[in-house]
Amino acid sequence: MSDDGFSDFASEESSSDDELEFMQDSKVKNEDYLETTVPHYSDETFFEHFRVSRNVANEISGMFQNSDYRSKSGPFGKLLSGDQMQAVCDHQRRFRDLFVGYLGSVHDSRVFRTSPLSQTLEQNCGTYFILGNNRYPLQKNLLTPYKDRATLTEQEINYNIKLSKNRCIIENSFGMLKQKFRQLNHIKLREIL
């Protein structure tokens, strides 16, 4: 240490600035995090990081891997806000069907018409129904609201109200999903089915 103590202090400070610059430049990244690190997690650690069990995560990723759709940002890239996603859930808020693959400019009825669900709706539903919004076609197993509100009878208005209340389940399901995976809050979701 020098007599005045100042020169040592100044040189120590400049060396820590260099270290800080080095630390900022060389950010630690795990490029293959999902492939190399996650498989070594115990079930408890996996749940702490992802807030779902390993089985649920595998089930969800299997749905996306089996899909023909690939986002423009890569095979497991972010879902772009302009992409359509058609989802169906049951009365217990469990997702039963997902279909992704059209740009946001494609009409909902076309997305439904070309989805695998549309092709197998009658055999999958049996005596049950799927509730849709007014952008979907009325079908035997797909109930939609009456469209011309100005000329509706009291019974038709009541039907629309009850249908709307029951369709809130899908909105709640997306809300719960967004709570599990908070990064989904940045995706603009539109009510589809």
Give the three-state DSSP class for 83.
strand
Mean pLDDT throughout 124-146? 90
Instruction: Tell me the two tokens of residue 187.
Output: 């995706």
Give per-residue pLDDT as tens, 38-47: 888 899 888 8
The residue ranges of every structural domain in the chain are: 1-66, 73-193
Give per-residue pLDDT as tens, 146-178: 988 789 999 999 999 999 998 888 888 888 887
Amino acid at 107: H
CA distances from 100 to 83, 130, 187 (A): 7, 18, 14
pTM score = 0.52
